[in-house]
């Protein structure tokens, strides 16, 4: 039983690969990225611990699996895991979310064209197109939102891979905004429970 559980968790990294492959089939499937974005908060709220990060995150599983043998294991620079860095990444992530929401609304209101391409770090257009093996006619706002969600997943995965290769496989986890925010959510919940 325990062995099965370990094997199942070992295979979670496939989820990340499947996510990127599905987005090559049709970008609307990139909206599945919301599962990775929202489930950690549901689990943290419900169980008052970082269950997603501890057991289920397919991205962390990919980092561990792929990088454990090739990570250089260098000493990280001072400040990489500091509160300041975490805050910076969190702010960047929040600004990204606000911009995605705003731009999606603008596209839905026909005030802006959809951005149907991948961007890295919110700003840099990548020099490739996703193949889109199955063509479906979608509302422009859905296309826009799907590419934006894909871009966040792409950026954080590439960034996590770079950090993982240089330092430890799961270096990204120390500054990942999901980790920071679920920590705040759990702490607030506990404080609320202690007061009531």
Binding site for ligand SF4 (CB under 6 A): 40, 52-53, 57, 59-60, 172-173, 176, 178-179
- In whole angstroms, the minimum distance from the beta carbon of 157 to ligand SF4 comes to 9
Asked whether 54 and 161 are in contact (CB, 8 A), the reply is: no
- In whole angstroms, the minimum distance from the beta carbon of 140 to ligand SF4 comes to 30
**C-alpha distance from residue 34 to each of 1, 144, 164, 173 (Å):** 30, 14, 23, 18
CB of 114 or CB of 160, closer to ligand SF4? 160
All residues at 6 or more sequence positions from 80 whose CB lies less than 8 Å from its CB, including other chains: 167, 171, 174, 175
Q: Tokens 């909206």 — which residue?
A: 31
CB of 26 or CB of 182, closer to ligand SF4? 182
- The full length of the chain comes to 196
Q: Identify which of 125, 178, 120, 177 has the alpha carbon closest to the alpha carbon of residue 154.
A: 120
CB of 121 or CB of 138, closer to ligand SF4? 121
- In whole angstroms, the minimum distance from the beta carbon of 58 to ligand SF4 comes to 8
CB of 63 or CB of 147, closer to ligand SF4? 63
CB of 117 or CB of 159, closer to ligand SF4? 159
Asked whether 27 and 132 are in contact (CB, 8 A), the reply is: yes
- In whole angstroms, the minimum distance from the beta carbon of 188 to ligand SF4 comes to 18
- In whole angstroms, the minimum distance from the beta carbon of 43 to ligand SF4 comes to 10
């Amino acid at each position: 039983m325990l062995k099965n559980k370990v094997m199942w968790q070992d295979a979670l990294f496939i989820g990340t690969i499947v996510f990127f492959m599905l987005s090559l089939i049709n970008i609307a499937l990139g909206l599945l990225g919301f599962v990775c974005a929202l489930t950690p908060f549901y689990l943290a709220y419900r169980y008052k611990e970082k269950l997603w990060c501890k057991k289920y995150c397919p991205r962390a599983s990919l980092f561990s699996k792929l990088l454990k043998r090739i990570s250089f294991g260098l000493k990280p620079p001072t400040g990489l895991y500091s509160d300041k860095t975490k805050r910076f990444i969190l702010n960047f992530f929040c600004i990204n979310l606000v911009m995605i929401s705003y731009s999606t609304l603008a596209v839905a209101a026909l005030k802006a064209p959809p951005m149907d391409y991948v961007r890295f770090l919110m700003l840099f257009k990548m020099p490739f197109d996703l193949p889109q093996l199955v063509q479906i006619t979608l509302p422009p706002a859905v296309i826009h939102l799907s590419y934006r969600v894909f871009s966040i997943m792409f950026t954080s995965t590439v960034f996590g891979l770079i950090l993982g290769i240089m330092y430890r496989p799961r270096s990204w986890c120390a500054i990942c905004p999901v980790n920071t925010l679920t920590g705040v959510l759990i702490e607030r919940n506990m404080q609320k429970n202690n007061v009531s």
